[in-house]
Amino acid sequence: LFCSEALAVSVLQQLNPLAPHKLRALINRYINWALEAPGAGPLNAMRSVYSYPFPVVIELIRNLFLHYPYELFWGWIRPPGLDNAHVPIIERFMKFQEDALPGLSGFRFRYPTAGANEGIREAFTKLKRDGKTQIYILQGEYEGYEEVALAHGIRVIKVDPNQDPAELPAGWWFISNPSARDGNIIPNEFIRKICDAGHHVYYDLAYLGLTDFHAFDLTHPNIDGVFVSLSKSFGIFGIRAGFMFSRERVDGLTGNVWFRSDPALQVADAILHGIRDPQHLTRLYRPFQTAVVADLNRLHGLNLRPSDVVLLAYQKVSDVVGDRQAKVLSRFDRAGVGRLTLTRYFLEMESWKSLVRIAIFLGLISPRWRIILPRAA
Ligand SMILES: Cc1ncc(COP(=O)(O)O)c(C=O)c1O
């Protein structure tokens, strides 16, 4: 409904002055548009992963800001006090994802951060200060690691996932899991093998909460730090809410106990209170993802599969048949896997179009109105 507000206003504006031929043309246009399959038209998937502003989350934020607890501005003189205001919220997050994150409580240093990015940046600051000159990532990983590494003068080595980590000199890895490479979950054994070979891992959970249940094992002592973000998990990219968990102090984040964004933390808290089940969003949107992937395959001749992450779909480049598929997928290629973000289709499904479809389904509007309306003079 919220998405359709702007559209409804534009429709009303177009209807004035109300000429029958205009009305007819408009109704035709909207009915045709609503009857289109979600994946019709040019391929509207995106290469980058943009979070989806889940309406159920937006509603929680709307309520928070309608009744914003302004007394929190006095938080520095009232318990839990300036230094600790974030603590109950981080603990709420830990409780919320307790089953999915075995070992998280073993990370003694916990910081509120502006998304995962701030934690990643400060992990690099620490590595640089400790004299590290290079890190490892898997081929096709999240581009952000390389950007931040570049800014710190640290070299990035991209590793083939089939390479035996024991053959590489021990070093520091940045791994996103669920993986930014294809939106799928990397098995725990894969990361354990890297740690057992003497490497250290920074574990990025940016897509946590967007898959079916999985326990991401964080117990290995060589997992040095964990990044959590609410940007994608709850579709609140611009709010900049997240946490970093570390076994050692991260000096670059020490000041975050004061220099944090309390409104961002309040949003996080409202979401953790409002969405009580960590699998809720995945369950809600999995059927959307399946429907969109089926339509895209039919309309664009692809062999996409729904990723574990509900916002994404993927296809191995080695599974490509024919030039047409190869051309379409090349735009999305990340080291041999085409990864597509479906966010725009979600938006479309949840918009005015869906309402028209439901109205047609319920018999409130007939697609045949196109025929029975008077012809333009
Ligand atoms: C795997 C991964 N990690 C971290 C980030 C950083 O996002 P944020 O700082 O909003 O959490 C992104 C954003 O695209 C990402 O895909």
pLDDT digits over 353-370, tens only? 667 767 776 777 666 654
Measured from the Cα of 180, ligand 1's closest atom is 1
Name the band, by pLDDT with cuts 50, 70 and 90, for residue 129: very high
Distance 174 CA to ligand 1 centre (A): 12
What is the average pLDDT value for the chain, to the nearest integer?
Answer: 88
Look at residues 44, 6, 3 and name the one whose alpha carbon lies nearest to residue 292.
Answer: 44
| pLDDT on residue 35 | 66
pTM of the model: 0.86
Q: What percent of the chain has pLDDT over 90?
A: 66
Distance 243 CA to ligand 1 centre (A): 12
Tell me how far apart the alpha carbons of residues 364 and 375 are, in angstroms, rounded to a whole number.
22
pLDDT tens for each residue of 28-83: 777 776 666 666 667 888 888 778 999 999 999 999 999 888 877 777 777 777 78
| pLDDT greater than 60 at residue 5 | no
| pLDDT greater than 60 at residue 377 | no
User: How many angstroms from the chain centroid is the CA of residue 129?
Assistant: 31
The set of residues, in sequence order, having a beta carbon less than 8 Å from that of 18 and lying 6+ positions away, is none
Measured from the Cα of 114, ligand 1's closest atom is 9
The set of residues, in sequence order, having a beta carbon less than 8 Å from that of 60 and lying 6+ positions away, is 270, 271, 274, 275
Residues with C-beta less than 6 Å from any ligand 1 atom? 49, 115-117, 142, 144, 176, 180, 204, 206, 229, 231, 237, 242
Tell me how far apart the alpha carbons of residues 110 and 243 are, in angstroms, rounded to a whole number.
7
For residue 174, which phi and psi values (nearest 5 degrees)?
A: -115, 120
| pLDDT greater than 50 at residue 262 | yes
The set of residues, in sequence order, having a beta carbon less than 8 Å from that of 95 and lying 6+ positions away, is none
| pLDDT greater than 50 at residue 88 | yes
Name the band, by pLDDT with cuts 50, 70 and 90, for residue 348: confident
Q: What percent of the chain has pLDDT over 70?
A: 85
Distance 206 CA to ligand 1 centre (A): 6
Average pLDDT of span 2-21: 58
| pLDDT greater than 60 at residue 373 | no
Name the band, by pLDDT with cuts 50, 70 and 90, for residue 134: very high
Measured from the Cα of 48, ligand 1's closest atom is 14
Tell me how far apart the alpha carbons of residues 293 and 288 are, in angstroms, rounded to a whole number.
9
Residue 273 contacts residue 57 (beta carbons within 8 Å): no
